[in-house]
């Protein structure tokens, strides 16, 4: 490791030492027959490769501040997040809705909250400065993606399990909104639990990632704290709006114009 004026730089050898821990975890998974060895290996390789490629891309984008490159990077991030939301659903929507509901929800929530923060709170010049816009959008997309994935998965699974109850409510005269109101509330609640837990534990149980990174880089602790509070508030609002939009849109899509439950719009992942 090499020390600079502000932080300690990591060498490839340092990262290889950390990789040994992951290898030990893979071996433990094999020993216990957990069936996760391949997934852990692929995830670790993807982490290293994807972050390395992103680092190279960000180096180029930071060197040439241009709105077009920032928008292209944001589009790639959104499409990747939308795919991850779709992949995590056991009962996913068929057709373009399987991808569209998550991607559109993250676009509405994460992008609007990011613009709000850049234009009215942080105020970099220009407002799309990559050093601020891309990391901020990435944190919002990542956390919103998790909340939406959980919310949609809970909604579709509960609708599938309780389909007879929902159809009975429809026969009793309830509209689609009333028939799934309770399931929708529970799904939104489930999607918000991770960020609520993260906010409640911040500073007591854990030091959040952005704050930790700034401290390792040599930032003044109180400056790091202010940025982390801002990020947590932005993530909470972005996740909340995104989960609400996704769950409400998905629950409505489960019914047709004649108020009939359309489970054929779902397909179970093998």
- 11: left (phi > 0), else alpha (psi -120 to 50), else beta? beta
Nearest residue to 142 (alpha-carbon basis) of 212, 210, 63: 210
Strands (DSSP E) found in 25-112: 91-93
Torsions phi, psi of 2, nearest 5?
-115, 130
Q: What is the pLDDT of residues 100-122, one digit of tens each?
A: 888 999 999 999 999 999 999 99
Task: Tell me the C-alpha distance between 74 and 76, whole Å.
Answer: 5
Residue positions counted in the chain: 270
Predicted pLDDT at 3: 44
pLDDT along the chain (270 residues), means of 10: 58 90 93 89 92 88 88 92 84 82 91 93 90 90 91 91 88 88 92 89 71 72 83 91 93 87 74
- pTM of the predicted model as reported, rounded to 2 decimal places: 0.81
Q: Which structure tokens are listed for 170?
A: 């429809």
Q: What is the pLDDT of residues 227-263, one digit of tens each?
A: 888 888 999 999 999 999 999 999 998 898 888 888 8
Predicted pLDDT at 204: 74
Distance separating the N- and C-terminal Cα atoms of the chain = 46
Residue 12 C-alpha from the chain's centroid: 28
């Amino acid at each position: 490791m090499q020390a600079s004026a502000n932080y300690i730089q990591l060498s490839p050898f340092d990262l290889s030492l950390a990789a040994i821990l992951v290898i030990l975890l893979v071996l433990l998974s094999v020993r216990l027959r957990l069936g996760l060895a391949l997934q852990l290996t692929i995830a670790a390789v993807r982490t290293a490769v994807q972050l390395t490629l992103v680092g190279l891309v960000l180096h180029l984008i930071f060197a040439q501040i241009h709105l077009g490159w920032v928008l292209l990077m944001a589009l790639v991030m959104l499409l990747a997040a939308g795919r991850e939301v779709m992949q995590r659903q056991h009962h996913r929507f068929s057709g373009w809705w399987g991808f569209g509901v998550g991607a559109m929800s993250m676009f509405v929530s994460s992008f609007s909250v990011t613009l709000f923060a850049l234009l009215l709170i942080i105020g970099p010049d220009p407002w799309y400065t990559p050093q601020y816009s891309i990391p901020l959008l990435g944190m919002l997309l990542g956390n919103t993606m998790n909340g939406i994935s959980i919310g949609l998965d809970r909604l579709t699974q509960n609708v599938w399990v309780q389909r007879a109850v929902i159809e009975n409510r429809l026969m009793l005269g309830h509209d689609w909104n009333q028939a799934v109101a309770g399931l929708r509330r529970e799904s939104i609640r489930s999607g918000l639990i991770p960020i609520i837990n993260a906010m409640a534990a911040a500073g007591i149980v854990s030091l959040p990632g952005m704050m930790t990174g700034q401290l390792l880089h040599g930032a003044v602790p109180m400056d790091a704290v202010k940025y982390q509070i801002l990020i947590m508030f932005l993530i909470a609002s972005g996740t909340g709006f995104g989960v609400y939009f996704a769950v409400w849109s998905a629950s409505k899509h489960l019914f047709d114009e004649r108020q009939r439950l359309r489970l054929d719009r779902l397909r179970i992942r093998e």
